[in-house]
C-alpha cells in the first residue's frame, strides 16, 4: 500500500524543548487516522510538519513522496488549532475568500455543508460562537479537493450534543477514495467509530500505530483501553 506520509528520523526542537525526538513511521492512503496523546506530547507539531508550515530540525518529512514544505499547501488542507478566520468577513465571504485562495476549493460542497451545519451565510465571523467557528473551520478544510486533510482538534469547542452528528458528517463529506485524513483529538471515544487507524504519541515519541479494527478484534479493547495500556 502506498504511504501518503513518511517520517524518517525526524526531530523537532523549539528553544529549550524537544517536541519530537527522532521519529520514523509511515501512514497509508485512504484512511481516517486519529492522532492521540496527552497534552504537550507533540501532536500539533507533527501535523505542522506534515503541512509544511514548520520544518524539522533534522530528518525528512515526506507527503506523497515529496519533501514537505510550504509549497505543498496545494496538496494539503490544514485545519489549525488556532483561530485563523477573519472576524470582519461574513460566513459566505469567508467561503468565497477561501475559494479564491485555493484552486481546488469546492464551493458547492461548502454551501451544502453550510446548510448541514446550520450556519447563517450572512453572519459575521466575529459574532459566531466558538462552536460555530469550529464548524466553519471544518467546512473550509473538507471543501478542499486535496489528497491529505489535516485537522488539529476539530472537535474542540463543539458542544457534546452536536459533536456526534458532526463526526458522522466528516465521513459523509470526505472522499475516502482519494483522501486521507489525519486528526488530532482528545475526544477518543467519540471519534472511535470513524477511525481506521490510530497513532499514539507521548513525550515526542510514537508509542504505537495500529488499526482500530485490530485493536477491537485482536485485543478486544476499546480505543480508550488501548490508550491506557499504550500510554503508561
Ligand atoms: N512555538 C513553540 N515554541 C516553544 N515550544 C513549543 C512551541 N510549540 C510547541 N512547543 C512545545 O512542544 C511540545 C509539543 O507541543 P504540541 O503543541 O505539539 O503538543 P500537543 O500534543 O499538540 O498538545 P495539546 O494536546 O496540549 O494541544 C510541548 O512541550 C510544547 O510546549
- Interface predicted TM-score of the whole assembly (ipTM), two decimals: 0.97
- pLDDT at position 161 is 80
Is it the case that residue 186 has pLDDT exceeding 80? yes
Which of residues 43 and 231 earns the better pLDDT score?
43
Q: Which residues approach ligand 1 with their CB closer than 6 A?
A: 14, 17, 19, 37, 39-45
Is it the case that residue 47 has pLDDT exceeding 80? yes
Question: What are the boundaries of each domain within the chain?
Answer: 1-74, 83-180
Pocket test for ligand 1, best of 11, 34, 35, 44 (most atoms within 8 A of CB): 44
Model confidence over 16-43: pLDDT tens digits?
A: 999 999 999 999 999 999 999 999 999 9
CATH superfamily of 1-74: P-loop containing nucleotide triphosphate hydrolases (3.40.50.300)
Sequence-distant (6+) residues with CB within 8 A of 223 are 34, 36, 188, 189, 192, 195, 198, 212, 215
d(CA 138, CA 117): 10
Q: For residue 48, which atom of ligand 1 is closest to its CA?
A: 18
Q: 93: CA distance to ligand 1 center in Å?
A: 32
- Mean pLDDT value of segment 71-89: 83
Which of residues 167 and 112 earns the better pLDDT score?
112
Model confidence over 137-148: pLDDT tens digits?
A: 999 999 999 999
d(CA 139, CA 85): 12
Q: How confident is the model at residue 159 (pLDDT cuts 50, 70, 90)?
A: confident
Domain 1-74 matches domain 83-180 at the CATH topology level: yes
Q: Structure pTM?
A: 0.93
- Mean pLDDT value of segment 119-128: 95
Q: 14: CA distance to ligand 1 center in Å?
A: 9
d(CA 106, CA 20): 34
- pLDDT at position 73 is 64
- pLDDT at position 1 is 61
The rounded mean pLDDT for the chain is 91
Q: How confident is the model at residue 68 (pLDDT cuts 50, 70, 90)?
A: confident
The structural architecture, per CATH, of the domain 83-180 is: 3-Layer(aba) Sandwich (3.40)
Burial 184-214 (b: 16+ CB within 10 A, else e): bbebbebbbebbbbbbbbbebebbbebbbee
Amino acid at each position: 500500500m502506498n504511504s501518503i506520509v513518511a517520517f524518517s528520523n525526524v526531530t523537532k526542537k523549539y528553544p529549550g524543548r524537544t517536541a519530537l525526538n527522532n521519529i520514523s513511521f509511515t501512514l497509508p492512503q485512504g484512511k481516517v487516522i486519529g492522532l492521540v496523546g496527552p497534552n504537550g506530547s507533540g501532536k500539533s507539531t507533527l501535523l505542522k510538519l506534515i503541512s509544511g508550515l514548520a520544518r524539522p530540525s533534522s530528518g525528512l518529512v515526506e507527503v506523497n513522496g515529496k519533501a514537505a514544505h510550504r509549497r505543498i499547501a496545494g496538496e494539503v488542507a490544514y485545519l489549525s488549532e488556532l483561530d485563523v478566520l477573519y472576524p470582519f468577513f461574513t460566513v459566505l465571504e469567508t467561503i468565497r475568500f477561501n475559494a479564491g485562495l485555493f484552486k481546488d476549493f469546492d464551493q458547492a460542497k461548502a454551501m451544502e455543508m453550510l446548510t448541514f451545519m446550520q450556519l447563517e451565510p450572512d453572519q459575521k465571523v466575529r459574532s459566531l460562537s466558538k462552536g460555530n467557528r469550529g464548524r466553519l473551520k471544518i467546512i473550509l478544510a473538507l471543501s478542499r479537493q486535496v489528497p491529505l486533510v489535516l485537522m488539529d482538534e476539530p472537535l474542540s469547542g463543539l458542544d457534546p450534543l452536536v459533536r456526534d452528528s458532526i463526526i458522522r458528517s466528516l465521513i459523509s463529506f470526505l472522499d475516502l477514495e482519494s483522501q486521507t485524513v489525519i486528526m488530532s483529538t482528545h475526544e477518543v471515544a467519540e471519534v472511535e467509530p470513524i477511525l481506521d487507524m490510530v497513532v499514539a504519541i507521548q513525550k515526542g515519541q510514537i508509542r504505537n500505530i495500529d488499526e482500530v479494527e485490530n485493536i477491537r478484534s485482536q485485543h478486544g479493547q476499546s480505543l480508550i483501553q488501548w490508550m491506557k495500556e499504550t500510554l503508561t
